[in-house]
């Protein structure tokens, strides 16, 4: 997800709720889609290239809607920093994490972002770490322990790189979100999303092409469909819906609504990839969602 200006006061809107559901479902479905794509294409090339095409598409949409793509000079450095963290860190880290993790595991770890936002807001924004926020971290760590500890020490060590990459991606998004609050990015939402995707994904595309040397011939029809999904649905439709929802809903409602993402991710991984959904997975999902709920309330 990309950093966005915090929405002001807004009433409840049925259209806003519908847009929020579309965005959350689209992001959740992307976890099994990306996991499948890794069987045909390397992670950095797949994620980076789809993000760049999505950025171009959003830029065209922004221009068509009369939004400017000009970035004020005083905002360029902060835009580059936030985009590198929030988009670049997330796109690269989660793509690599899926090499070691199941799609459902990555979805659970990725939704811990609000917990890290709550903790990073203390040193950067001066927001006090309440008992609820401290408790949320403890609960989130418990959920992670449940997720990676059920298969014994060997299985846990085998998954450790994936867990670290997933947590690194969540931390990058958390830090980028907090920095956006500290250094607001006053730009039209579609233009902002286009620039963030472009700045964050361009280095990933370059590294992916040089290091992974992807071959287009390796993509099957289903692989091309997966690339199209990531580009058109995850990076374009979902972000458009997300920004539109933020303009129609209270910020707290929008934040809580994104809790649908890991639920959809876990269920979709079970249905699309036939990943086993056992008691440990359900427990980890419930515990992680509880941690996020505590963080949002605190």
Which pTM does this prediction carry? Answer: 0.80
What's the length of the chain? 298
User: Rounded mean pLDDT of the chain?
Assistant: 82
Model confidence over 14-37: pLDDT tens digits? 888 888 889 889 989 999 999 999
- With tokens 């009369």, the residue in question is 66
More confident residue, 280 or 48: 48
In the structure encoding, which two tokens stand for residue 110, read together?
Answer: 């990725």
Q: What's the average model confidence in pLDDT over 53-80?
A: 91
Alpha-helix runs per DSSP H in the chain: 14-37, 43-64, 76-83, 90-100, 103-110, 113-125, 131-149, 152-182, 189-212, 221-228, 238-246, 251-257, 260-272, 279-297
Confidence at residue 158, expressed as pLDDT on a 0 to 100 scale: 84
Rounded CA separation 103/2 (Å): 20
Model confidence over 179-202: pLDDT tens digits? 877 777 778 878 888 998 999 999
Concatenating the DSSP letter of every residue in 220-279 gives -HHHHHHHHIIIIIIIIIHHHHHHHHHTTS-HHHHHHHTTHHHHHHHHHHHHHS-----H
Rounded CA separation 298/73 (Å): 36
């Amino acid at each position: 997800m990309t950093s966005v200006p915090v929405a002001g006061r807004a009433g409840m809107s049925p259209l806003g709720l519908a847009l929020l559901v579309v965005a959350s479902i689209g992001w959740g479905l992307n976890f099994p889609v990306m996991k499948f794509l890794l069987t045909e294409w390397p992670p950095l090339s797949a994620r980076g290239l789809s993000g760049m095409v999505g950025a171009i598409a959003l830029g065209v949409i922004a221009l068509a809607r009369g939004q400017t793509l000009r970035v004020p000079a005083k905002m360029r450095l902060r835009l580059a920093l936030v985009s590198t963290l929030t988009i670049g860190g997330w796109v690269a880290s989660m793509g690599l994490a899926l090499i070691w993790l199941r799609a459902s595991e990555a979805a659970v770890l990725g939704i811990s972002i609000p917990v890290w936002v709550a903790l990073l807001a203390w040193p950067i924004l001066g927001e006090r770490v309440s008992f609820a926020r401290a408790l949320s971290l403890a609960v989130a760590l418990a959920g992670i322990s449940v997720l990676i500890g059920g298969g014994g020490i060997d299985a846990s060590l085998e998954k450790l790189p994936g867990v670290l990459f997933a947590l690194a991606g969540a931390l990058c998004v958390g830090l980028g979100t907090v920095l956006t609050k500290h250094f607001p990015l006053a730009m039209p939402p579609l233009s902002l999303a286009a620039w963030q995707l472009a700045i964050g994904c361009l280095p990933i595309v370059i590294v992916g092409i040089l290091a992974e040397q992807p071959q287009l011939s390796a993509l099957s029809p289903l692989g091309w469909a997966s690339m199209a999904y990531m580009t058109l649905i995850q990076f374009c439709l979902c972000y458009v819906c997300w920004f539109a929802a933020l303009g129609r809903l209270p910020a707290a409602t929008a934040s809580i609504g994104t809790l649908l993402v890991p639920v959809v991710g876990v269920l979709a991984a079970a249905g699309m990839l036939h990943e086993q959904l056992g008691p440990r997975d359900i427990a980890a999902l419930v515990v992680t969602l509880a941690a996020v709920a505590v963080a949002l309330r605190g």
